[in-house]
Structure 1
Amino acid sequence: MTVPPDGRPLWRHRPFVLLCAEQTAGSVGRQITALALILLAVTELRAGPFDASVILALTYLPGAALSPFAGVLADRVRLRRLLVLATALQAVAVGSVPLARAAGQLTWPHLYAVAAVSGTLTFTLSVGLQAALPRVVGAARLLAANSALTGARTVGQIGGPAAGGVLVGLVGTGPALTAGCAAYAVEALVLLALPSALNSPAAHGDAARPSPAAALRAGLDVVRRERRLLRMTAAGAGLNLGSGAVAALYVLYATRELGLSPWRLGATYALFSGATVFGILVSGRFGERVGAWRATRICGPLAGAAMFLVPAAALGAPFPLLLGYQLVYGLAVTVWSISMTTLQQLAAPPGLQGRVAGVTQAVLLMTVPVGALGGGALAAALGNVPVLVASAAVALVSGATLWAPVRADHGEKKAALADQAQ
């Protein structure tokens, strides 16, 4: 077992510290890679808006669609080996780009393939880590552990783009991608140092080795059976649908319609990062005080309501209203995400952690590009403000559905026990 003894702080539990280090290194690598790939496409292959959007979509959609299958793998195979292999393959895939560029053989199909493979491996790693965390820290410490891991990941998300921009400016896109590969290599070494106990497959009950379709159905059945998990997943999909549309229109709307200067636009994003950090700091104590389920019920509608500040900015005072949006939305969505992930891990049986994570991740992630593409298409016909209002309404209604009465299920009982233990 890798669970820390009672009373030992998580920061003194070596396997958990390794997971935090992995989150930081991996996040830096992914941020550098994402920025350098787009800049390479623009500068070397003369990418237009459509080409850049295809690269973005390919880093997102294949991995989201394949997340349930990644969950089957996480439950059936040696988990530490899967995590290390996924990270090492990501380093190889990304590293092929600067090599092809140096040889003068860089092509669009190559870049598209790297974007798709890298995105798929990223989401495979995400599912595997969600399956690993309960085995590392135990049920009683999941809320605190998820908060800490989100913090470690946020460090990379804040510092990664800046590091990528500096590297591209100083040494160019090729060496910057090589630096991204180095971050993946560090991540793989950290994962390799995880306890060997994680190499014991979690799905001990799968002795009959059901077909992949049957294995997927087992994970889907858990989501259906655990009513609160099902409702959180549905509400999260609606929130992501609305936020995807808002995110797709935000820069264009803020600069062209509201006339925000670049530094003010950047300030709104900076405040979102600050709100995320604050959300990480308060999520554990807030979740312990009100319970993880109630935390999602509070923060879901709050995140949806915050989106109305974006179209409201067209009426006046755009800069303060957009700052308010980023502050409230960043705080609410961070606490929501940490609480939902914790409840999902509590609801899933030990042998089904990967499959449950894969199913919920697929549902949540697929709605983001759908919202972005749909919002962009509708805004071209109807204008930005009506679409922003409709997107906020979808998000708010989705979050509000969590307040409909529901009986406590097995996952919520486990969550209540975990809250008491904390």
Structure 2
Amino acid sequence: MTPTSSPSPRLWTRSFTVYWLAGLQSVFGNALTSVVVAVLVYGLTGQASAMGLTLALGMLPALLSPFAGVVVDRVPVRPLLIAGDVLRGLLVLGLALGLMNGQVSIFWLNSAVLLSGLITAFTSPASSTLLPQLVPAEHLARANGLMGMGIQSAQLAGLFLGAGLVTLLGQASTLLLDAATFLISAGALLLVRLPSRVKAPVKEGFWTAFRAGFQVLARHPGFAMIPVLAFVLNIAFAPMQMLLPEHLAGFGLPERFYGVALGTVMGGMLAGSLSVTALGQRFRPQLALPLGLLSGSLSLAVMAQSPYVELFYAALATLGLGVALTNTAISYLGQTLIPEEFRGRVFGLISAGSQAGMPLAMILLGPAADAYGSRPLWSTGAAVMLLSTCAWLYLGTQAGRGARPTSIT
């Protein structure tokens, strides 16, 4: 099917503005939920390991994202996103009402987190396919940068305000506010207008459509590495999150500096997204991706070896910058290289690789973290990221020797 209309030549159209603001609402709501759930889980169990199980349950459904991508490529995207926000709003509302009646248990919390993760398995690839329909090609890089800035700002606001809101309003009232953000986001998406898009044929067999996603990736050797790269990078980053409190204690810093450290990483990510937004059409994803990987590798190496806390925090900011450049480059390449009717499946594969790496690494590397500490694990993560950078550059070079002009070079 050929699109019947095209996006406006302006970036800040009503549809893009509404979609951007709706995305901020959802992300802010997710951040609020994560704060309340963490407090509830620890309050009910008194065990830090219980929070690890809850986090893993939230990530587990992402393994279904490649299958969800088959559905995303066949159905209209906007109703899918609206349904996702409504369902998440109802889930949080149910938790709030249960909390008011004293009926919240760890089973109920974990079930809600698992269901929310299942919804995200569908909405994540759907969101990734939507942006090229909202903005013209010449504004796509800037739009990706703006989306990154908005998401990171909303996450930061939600995490920092969450604790204050729980103290001020209480857990149940904070969850009611969170539910409202999802429902407002769903209502806002009703105002978003989209042109017709090319969709995968519904009559095509499910498994045939599923395999077609891998076949499309095989046409772009460099981009085919992205799902594997997402898996490897999350394994490399997992020790950073696990060992950050212990490493900060080694500098003689109290526990509250853990939040400052995470905020520093988020600040670096904001700077990266701002850079992409400022570059606009001059943004080069083929350069930004290896540059982001190299920044992450050097940052982990400095974090592992530096005896100076100032240099350590500078490395955290650089790590965030590298993450933003890498993520934005991956999104932009997927939106421009992959045919429209296959993007749901391809982004589903990337989401599955990204989400699977983190919980697996936490399980496998937990004993090593206890035994060896931060320095050797962060050094190993730096080496893994450096090897990934070299592999990406090699595959890109090989693809560029005989590839079509649209291939990764």
Contact 2:303–2:316 at 8 Å: present in 1 too?
no
| Residue of structure 1 aligned with 2:226, choices 221, 224, 232 | 232
d(CA) in 2 for partners of 1:77, 1:215:
13
Q: In the TM superposition, what whole-angstrom CA distance separates every residue of 1:289-324 from its partner, at most 9, and x where no partner exists?
A: 4621121122212211211122113xx21x112212
Conserved in 1, the CA contact under 8 Å of 2:197 and 2:340?
Answer: no
What letter is aligned with 1:79?
V
Q: C-alpha distance in 2, partners of 1:258/1:41?
A: 30
Q: Answer whether contact 1:246 1:372 (CA < 8 A) is retained.
A: no
Tell me how far apart the structure 1 counterparts of residues 149 and 314 of structure 2 sit (CA, whole Å): 22
Quick one: distance in 1 between partners of 2:139 and 2:181?
A: 28
Which residue does the alignment assign to 1:15? 15
Counterpart for residue 208 of structure 1: 203
Q: CA deviation at 1:42?
A: 2.2
For 1:187, the aligned partner's letter is: S
1:411 deviation in Å? 8.4
Q: What secondary structure is seen at the aligned counterpart in 1 of 2:192?
A: coil
2:340 matches 1:347 = no
Distance change in 2, residues 1:292/1:81 (3 Å): same
Query: Which of 272, 275, 278 is the aligned partner of 1:282?
Result: 275
Alignment of 1:24-43 (within 5 A): 24-43=24-43
Tell me, yes or no, if the aligned pair for 2:29 and 2:182 is still in contact at 8 Å: yes
Match of 1:71 in 2: 69
On the 8 A contact 1:343/1:411 being kept in 2, the answer is: no
TM-score (norm 2): 0.92
Maintained 8 Å contact 1:68/1:216: yes
The aligned counterpart of 1:158 is: 156
1:4 aligns with 2:7: yes
Question: C-alpha offsets along residues 251-284 of structure 1, whole Å, 9 cap, x if unaligned?
Answer: 22222x3322345444333322222221111124
Q: 1:346–1:415: 8 Å Cα contact kept in structure 2?
A: no
Please tell me whether residue 393 in structure 1 is matched to residue 392 in structure 2.
Answer: no
Runs of 4 or more, structure 1, over 6 Å off, are: 409-412
Q: Residues 122-201 of structure 1: matches in 2 within 5 Å?
A: 122-195=120-193, 197=195
Aligned residue number for residue 297 of structure 2: 304
User: How many Å separate the matches in 2 of 1:107 and 1:201?
Assistant: 44
- Per-residue deviation, 1:202: 3.6
**In the superposition, relative to structure 1, how do residues 411 and 157 fare at CA in structure 2: closer, same or farther (>3 Å)?**
farther
Identify the residue that residue 59 of structure 2 maps to in structure 1: 60
| Aligned equivalent of 1:420 | none
Please state how far the C-alpha of 1:158 moved relative to its aligned partner: 1.2
1:389 partner amino acid: S
Report the TM-score when normalising by structure 1: 0.89
Percent identity of equivalent pairs: 25
Structure 2 residue ranges without an equivalent (≥5)? none
Query: Are the structure 2 counterparts of residues 144 and 136 from structure 1 closer, same or farther at C-alpha, using a change threshold of 3 Å?
Result: same
Quote the Cα distance in structure 2 between the aligned partners of 1:48 and 1:38: 11
Q: What residue in structure 2 maps to residue 48 of structure 1?
A: 47
Distance 1:292 1:340, change over 3 A: same
Q: Alignment length, in residue pairs?
A: 403
